[in-house]
Amino acid sequence: MISKEVLKRIDLVVFDLDGSILDDNGNLDGDTILLLNKLSKTGVKFSIATGRLHSAVLFFAKTLSLDIPLITLDGTLIKDPKSDEIIFQSNLPVNVVTKALALADKYFLKIALCHGDAIYYTDENSLIPNLLDKFGAKYVLINSYNGYIKDTLEIVMTGDYSDMVRQASNKLSFPYTFGVRTSFYKSQKHGGIYYLEVRKMGSNKGDGLKRLCKHLEIKMKNTAVIGDWYNDMSLFETDALKVAVANAIPEIKKMADMVTKRTNNEGGVNEFFKLMLKAKS
């Protein structure tokens, strides 16, 4: 059990969305909204750390009355939901995006450019909206990628031949390409489809949290994080208070200071928020 003294000093709570504060249908629990509202009145600030695009989390930010910067696309963008002020942005180098477009053409792959506001694709890549599992993302059809290369936070390439996607991945990795990290994986939803995601090195949720704390002038020990999945591990490697929901992966649970008894589908995060509210009252 987390002590009352520890809970009283928490000034900032940063939570993951999918699998953590949202249920499997992407909905917020009614009690969560009420609890965050009550905690906000005690001075606690709340933010999001998610793999989603910034534009895909604005609905939740508004519903929860969040008014500080949000950590999106796993830390590649930290942006204020109200003023649109960008605290941090990790754009891919122009030469890397240009190279990826050429490789997609060479290996017959579909490609899309992810920005903070939307995912952009051309007519030749018209299958992209049906193939990408980017929750809540806005898809925009454009005539050409020219003019959209500069502000790219993530490149997503997809194809139905694993060796073709792997070859593109190799060409976008060291020693052929510097300063980026690639992620190659097979789709669990679309049979026989493979994906390659490319981002600039040096960005993850944990680094995003450190940048947000510095911007807000809040000490890490006065911060709490909530998560469930592999991309939350960098959050759990910080000195923040760590809360895992019951459905979290074993690796996250082992790193946690508290594991809720209930899952995300049962409003598990409310267990922590109720403890906080009791300590703050």
For the segment 115-173, what is each residue's pLDDT rounded down to a tens digit?
999 999 999 999 999 888 788 899 999 999 999 999 999 999 999 999 999 999 999 99
Q: Phi/psi of residue 233, each to 5°?
A: -60, -35
* pTM, entire model: 0.92
Q: How many CB atoms lie within 10 A of CB 59?
A: 12
CB distance 88 to 268 below 8 Å: no
Q: Which CATH number fits domain 94-200: 3.50.50.60, 1.10.3720.10, 3.30.1240.10, 3.40.50.300?
A: 3.30.1240.10
pLDDT at 134: 80
Residue pLDDT, tens place only, 169-227: 999 999 999 999 999 988 777 778 999 999 999 889 999 999 999 999 999 999 999 99
Q: Any idea which architecture 4-89+203-280 has in CATH? A: 3-Layer(aba) Sandwich (3.40)
Measure the CA–CA gap between 2 and 83, rounded to whole angstroms: 35
Measure the CA–CA gap between 86 and 184, rounded to whole angstroms: 29
Among all chains, which residue has been given the structure tokens 């990826």? 100
* 229 Cβ contact list (under 8 Å, min separation 6): 16, 18, 19, 20, 248, 249, 252
Does residue 95 register a pLDDT over 90?
yes
Measure the CA–CA gap between 240 and 13, rounded to whole angstroms: 9
Among all chains, which residue has been given the structure tokens 């594991």? 259
Q: How many CB atoms lie within 10 A of CB 254?
A: 11
Nearest to 235 by CA among 216, 258, 252, 214: 252
Where exactly are the structural domains of the chain? 4-89+203-280, 94-200
Nearest to 115 by CA among 143, 87, 138, 141: 138
Nearest to 226 by CA among 46, 24, 40, 6: 46
Looking at residue 262, its amino acid is R
CB distance 17 to 225 below 8 Å: no
